[in-house]
Amino acid sequence: MNTLYADLRSLWLRWVQLPRRLWLVYLVVYFVMGGCVQLVLPFINIAYWARPWQFATLYCFFLVPLSVLVRELPWYRQYAYFVTAIMPLEIVAFTLHTSLAYPENILDPIVGIRNFTLTMVMIDSWIPWVGNRIVDFVWLRLGRRAAAVAVLPS
């Protein structure tokens, strides 16, 4: 029980101690990433969301908090945690038809129709690692700009 409490407390502290500005960077970066994916989906012809707004809920309210939790971990652990987190989400989404595969999509001939969801999990599990790299890049650029502005003479 103490271990579970300590783990949960550590997770909670990681969330609440993150600067608000960094939360905002996360939300903007992931919203833009999700929007770009939403715009590209019809052209890559693999899968799509049943409702246009789903990208925002997935990217901003599911991926952002989990990305914050794993941001300090090595890439292989981030990927492993996100395979575990995204797997049930993808299975439920394809079962309930809130995510849909395009008929005759480009993955079916390669992996087969029975392996489509597994393939999507393995592909989508890279999104948080990429998102964390982009957030780190933006955060460092914002920090440098803020530091440059602070030293400018008035």
What would the pLDDT profile of 8-56 be if each residue is shown by its tens digit? 788 788 888 888 899 999 999 999 999 999 899 888 888 888 898 998 9
Encoded tokens for 132 = 């964390």
Residue pLDDT, tens place only, 82-110: 999 999 988 898 889 898 888 888 888 88
Residue 15 CA, chain-centre distance (Å), reads 16
Predicted pLDDT at 73? 85
CB burial of residue 119 (10 Å; 0-12, 13-18, 19+): middle
Residue pLDDT, tens place only, 101-147: 888 888 888 887 778 888 888 888 999 999 999 999 999 998 866 54
Q: How far apart are CA 10 and CA 70, in angstroms?
A: 12
- Whether residue 89 contacts residue 54, with contact meaning beta carbons closer than 8 Å, is answered with no
Beta strand segments in 57-136, E = 99-101
User: Residue 135: which of 38, 55, 28, 63 has the closest Cα?
Assistant: 28
Beta strand segments in 3-139, E = 47-49, 99-101
Span 59-87, mean pLDDT?
Answer: 90
Q: How far apart are CA 40 and CA 134, in angstroms?
A: 19
- Whether residue 21 contacts residue 138, with contact meaning beta carbons closer than 8 Å, is answered with no
DSSP letter assigned to residue 53: T
Encoded amino acid at 33, one letter: M
- More confident: 60 or 14: 60
Residue 90 CA, chain-centre distance (Å), reads 13
